[in-house]
Amino acid sequence: MSDTIFSKIINREIDADIVHEDDQCLAFRDVNPQAPMHILVIPKKPIDMLANAEDGDQALLGHLMLTARRIAADEGYGDAFRLVMNNGEAVGQSVFHLHLHVLGGRDFAWPPG
């Protein structure tokens, strides 16, 4: 996988407003927020998109989801938040490093998009 803006954030080559870090992932505020809370949770392991994750990534993917839950709670939105993961350019993925959008603090329409 080529260098992405997210790998540069992980490597501290680009600044970000980091809200969480552990040995498996990093979470930071989106620079173009679409809701009062818009945080990105990214694995430190380079996976370009969910379609290319492997069976061995199951625990990591679960860790990302549980980390998103904790962050939403810490931000005051634990009872109402949305998780979004785009998979591919056709559905809006613009950075090819797997990431979860954690959104909260406003009403969301259904279906999304």
**95 located within any domain:** yes
Query: pTM of the entire structure?
Result: 0.95
Alpha-carbon distance 32 to 21, whole Å? 21
83-92, long-range: CB within 8 Å, 24+ apart, which pairs?
Answer: 84/112, 85/50, 86/49, 87/49, 87/50, 87/51, 88/49, 88/51
Domain range enclosing 49: 5-104
For the question of residue 20 being annotated catalytic, the response is no
pLDDT averaged per 10 residues, the chain (length 113): 87 97 98 97 97 97 98 97 96 95 96 81
What is the pLDDT at residue 2? 64
Q: How many domains are there within the chain? A: 1
What CATH number is attached to the domain comprising 32? 3.30.428.10
Asked if residue 68 belongs to a domain, the reply is yes
Report yes or no on 112 lying in a domain.
no
The amino acid sitting at 87 is: N
In a domain? residue 31: yes
Q: Does residue 111 sit within a domain?
A: no
Nearest Cα residue to 10 out of 47, 43, 53, 48: 43
Q: What pLDDT, on the 0 to 100 scale, is given for residue 112?
A: 83
Q: Which of 38, 97, 99, 101 is catalytic?
A: 99
